[in-house]
């Protein structure tokens, strides 16, 4: 995909931070409001897809290679499984929520019933949300990036053959 006109590029650059902030909000408040790692990751990947459409796949590939995105996805998967294994060590079972109730990071217990919500609750759930968020952003964006780059490359080769 080649880059689009200057109007589209400017509007995409203005809109991009707002979509990004909304996606990061959905990831970070996954244990309080509807949403979570997968939903917020899909929104952030949509913002990156907007940049890809506006600026072209060559520009995006130069900024973020697919190797770096693969590394990010592996980091997300590693942290997810590592948190589950830490539950096995500190608690009793795999996927044990060992941070809930301890006076450590994210360790508070909220009042039962409807309450105003506190960021410092949830045990390992916010950390797992972040791990899955990184994984989903990298995974969904690398699919679109690699497909767009290959399609652009193929089109260029077809043009060379004809001309």
Which of 13, 81 has the CB closer to another protein? 81
Nearer Cβ to another protein (5/114): 114
Sequential DSSP letters for 53-77: HHH-HHHHHHHS-HHHHHHHHHHHH
Q: Closest distance between another protein and the C-beta of residue 63, in Å? A: 17
- Rounded CA gap, 2 and 22, in Å? 28
Helix (H, G, I), strand (E, B) or coil at 108: strand
Which one, 17 or 65, has the nearer CB to another protein?
A: 65
Query: Which residues contact another protein (rule: CB under 8 A)?
Result: 1, 26, 30-36, 38-39, 42-43, 45-46, 49, 52-53, 66, 70, 73, 77, 80-81, 84, 94-95, 97, 100-101, 106-113, 115, 117, 121-125, 128-129, 132, 135-136, 139-140, 142-144, 146-151, 153-155
In the complex, least distance from residue 93 CB atom to another protein, rounded to whole angstroms: 10
37-55 vs 125-162: helix axis angle to the nearest 10? 30
- Which of 134, 144, 131 is CA-nearest to residue 41? 134
- Is residue 123 within 8 Å of residue 32, measured between CB atoms? no
Distance CA 90, CA 88 (A): 6
- Least distance CB 58 / another protein (angstroms): 12
Task: Closer to another protein by CB, 92 or 112: give it.
Answer: 112
Least distance from C-beta 52 to another protein, angstroms? Answer: 8
């Amino acid at each position: 995909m080649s880059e689009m006109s200057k109007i589209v590029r400017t509007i995409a650059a203005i809109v991009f931070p707002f979509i990004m902030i909304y996606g990061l909000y959905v990831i970070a408040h996954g244990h309080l409001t509807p949403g979570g790692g997968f939903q917020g990751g899909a929104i952030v990947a949509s913002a990156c897809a907007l940049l890809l459409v506006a600026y072209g796949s060559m520009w995006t590939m130069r900024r973020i290679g697919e190797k770096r995105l693969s590394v990010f996805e592996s980091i997300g998967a590693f942290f997810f499984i590592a948190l589950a294994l830490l539950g096995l060590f500190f608690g009793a079972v795999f996927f044990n929520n060992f941070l809930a109730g301890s006076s450590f990071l994210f360790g508070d217990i909220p009042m039962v019933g409807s309450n105003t919500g506190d960021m410092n609750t949830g045990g390992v759930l916010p950390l797992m949300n972040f791990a899955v968020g990184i994984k989903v952003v990298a995974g969904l964006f690398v699919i679109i990036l690699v497909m767009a780059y290959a399609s652009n490359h193929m089109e260029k080769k077809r043009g060379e053959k004809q001309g």
